[in-house]
Amino acid sequence: MDVMGPPITLEALVRVRLVGGAEHEVFEKHLRAEPAVVDAWRLAGDCDYEVRLTCRALADLDSAVNELRHAGGHTSTTLVLHRVPLDDR
């Protein structure tokens, strides 16, 4: 019996608004270097980026979000509870 259960992967969507003169090119370089980042989109609207993170633990997610803040952004994080399959289109 496996007491630990299957590995858990946390997924989060993080909206980022650059502040303090942070430059897009520098921020995007940071995104490419962060292992937790699996997708990122530059947006028009009330934020500059939406970033998708995957992590094994809440502490890892906390660390990845803090790295986004240190790279020059205000963040708003949403945990993904369930992915809705759209295969039947």
Indicate the number of domains in the chain.
1
Q: Answer whether residue 58 is part of any domain.
A: yes
| Cα–Cα distance for residue pair 37/69, rounded to 1 Å | 14
User: Which CATH number belongs to the domain containing residue 69 in this structure?
Assistant: 3.30.70.920
- Please write the tens of the pLDDT for every residue from 35-86: 999 999 999 999 999 999 999 999 999 999 999 999 988 999 999 999 899 9
Q: Which amino acid is at 84?
A: V
Are the CB atoms for 54 and 10 separated by under 8 Å? Answer: yes
Specify whether the CB–CB gap between 30 and 51 falls below 8 A.
no
Q: Give the separation between CA 54 and CA 79, rounded to whole angstroms.
A: 10
* Domain interval for residue 30: 10-79
pLDDT in tens, 9-26: 999 999 999 998 889 999
What global pTM score does this model have? 0.85
Q: Which of 74, 78, 76, 77 is nearest to 22 (CA)?
A: 74
